[in-house]
Amino acid sequence: MQVKNRVVIISGGASGLGEACSSLFVESGAKVGIFDINEEKGQALARSFGASALFCATDVGDEHSVHAAVGATAKVFGAVHVAVSCAGVINAAKVCSKEGPFPMGLFNKVVHINLMGTMHMIRSAVQEMMKNEPDENGERGVIVNCASAAAFFGQVGQAAYSASKAGVVGMTLPIAREIGDYGMRIVTIAPGLFETPMSAGLPESIKRGIAEQIPFPRRLGRPVEFAMTVRHIVENPYLNGTTIMLDGAMRPPAR
C-alpha cells in the first residue's frame, strides 16, 4: 500500500516510537491520527504537523475511547487505511519478593494496556477499514503492532511485560488468517531497547552495557528505525502474519 494520501492512526503517537511514526508518515505524505493519553504533548505535536494531523485524547485500555478516536479520525480524513499500535507500559516485579507475591493489580494493568489495548485498536480499525474500496492490489488496510524482544527473551521481573507482548505476537497469525479475507494484512514488530522515554530512566552505564552486548550496531535503536520498519511493512504487500525482530541481533541475558 502506498503511504502518500493514506490515513494512519497511531496509538502512543505523541512520544517515543509512536512519535517517530507520526513524524515519518506525515513526512511521507500521509494524514495521521495521533492517539495518546498525553493531551498537552499530543496537541502540540498535531499543531506542528498542521492540516496533516489530528490529535485524539485516547486511553487504549478503554475500548470506547479507542472506538471514538478511530471514528473521529475517519470523519475528519475520510477513512482509515493503516493502524499502528505503539502505546504501552512496562513495570517490573518478581513472582516472589520481600514485599510478597506478585501484585496481580500490576500484572492486570500491564496486560490490559499492552495486550487488550492492542486488541482495542485492531478491532476498531478493522471495522473502519471494511468500508474502504480495495486498491489495485485488492488491499483495504494494514495493521502494525509493537511487541518487544521480551516476548521471546524476557528477563527476571518481566513476567507481566513479557506475557503481554507474547500475547501480541501470538494473536498476529490468527488475525492475519481472518482479515486476509477482507484484503487486510497484520504484522508485529518486536523491538529491542530503543532510545525512548521508556528507556530514558536507565543509568547511562547500564545502557552502555546493553549496547556492548549487541552484535551490530553496538548502540540502542533509534525511533526513526522503528518507524522506517513500519513504513516498509505498509509498502510491502507480501509481509503478513509474522513478527519482525528489530534488535540488532541482541539476545538479553536472564538478568
User: CA-to-CA distance for 102 and 96, rounded, in angstroms?
Assistant: 6
Cβ contact 70:42 at 8 Å = no
The residues that bridge with 188 in the sheet, in sequence order, are 145, 243
**Burial classification of residue 63, based on how many CB atoms lie within 10 Å of its CB (0-12 exposed, 13-18 middle, 19 or more buried):** middle
User: CA-to-CA distance for 72 and 217, rounded, in angstroms?
Assistant: 41
Q: Is the dihedral of CA 248, 12, 45, 235 positive or negative?
A: positive
User: CA-to-CA distance for 202 and 246, rounded, in angstroms?
Assistant: 20
Amino acid type, 6:
R
Grid cell for residue 166: 507474547
* 238 has catalytic annotation: no
Which one is catalytic: 161, 175, 184, 230?
Answer: 161
CA end-to-end span of the chain: 41
Cβ contact 58:37 at 8 Å = yes
Cβ contact 199:193 at 8 Å = yes
Q: Active-site residues: which are they?
A: 161
